[in-house]
Amino acid sequence: MQKVRLEISGIAYSQTQSGSYVLTLSEAAGNRKLPIVIGGFEAQAIAVELEKMIPNRPLTHDLIKSFCVSYDVVIKEVLIYKFVEGVFYSKLICERDGVISEIDSRTSDAIAVGVRFNSPIFTLSNIIDEASISNHDENAYESDEIFDDAATDAAEDEKEVSSLISHSLQDLEKQLQAALENENYELASKLRDEMKKRS
């Protein structure tokens, strides 16, 4: 079975499942997308790493990375190898001293660990054929809701960002520190972006 490389193209809040998010993986050499519903904790863990934010205390996936590094384990890739009844199954392909091993994992956890190693994400051609949506087919797999989520998030972000404009740089720095202490990384990311615009 041929492997297809995927890239993270976005994380949006799910309106259909309370407390859940939709992680969208895009085909690296194509226009198909794989939407995967994940939990809030895993969404935050992925976003924190993508945004290169440093939490006050290590998150669980940071701990896993530290453990791997301490024992010379390298995460070579994340492989989404099965799709059954709407559930994706994944594994981490690891290497230590030239020996390759596979560790079964929830897809969200596998990706949260994989991004910390800059590991490529793959799936199999039959899975992307079965479970993907394309830019031209936004009605499949409730993709209208997924894209609506993205639009809703964009509108909310715009509203929040416009309210940040009225704050001084010093206020933003205080808010950023408070957001990091409270582990509100989504707000911290927006504050950081606003501060970057002004520098």
State the Rg of the chain over Cα. Answer: 18
Cβ partners under 8 Å of residue 2, min gap 6? 124, 125
> Quick one: pLDDT band at residue 195, thresholds 50, 70, 90?
confident
Residue 59's pLDDT band (cuts 50, 70, 90): confident
Residue 38 backbone class (left: φ over 0; alpha: ψ -120 to 50; beta: rest): beta
pLDDT, tens only, 64-122:
999 999 999 999 999 999 998 888 999 999 999 999 999 999 999 999 999 999 999 99
Instruction: Note the pLDDT tens digit of each residue in 118-139.
Output: 999 999 999 999 888 865 444 4
The CATH number assigned to the domain with range 3-137 reads 3.10.690.10
CB 25 within 8 A of CB 33: yes
List the 32-39 sheet strands across, edge first.
99-106, 87-96, 74-84, 121-124, 3-13, 20-27, 32-39, 133-134
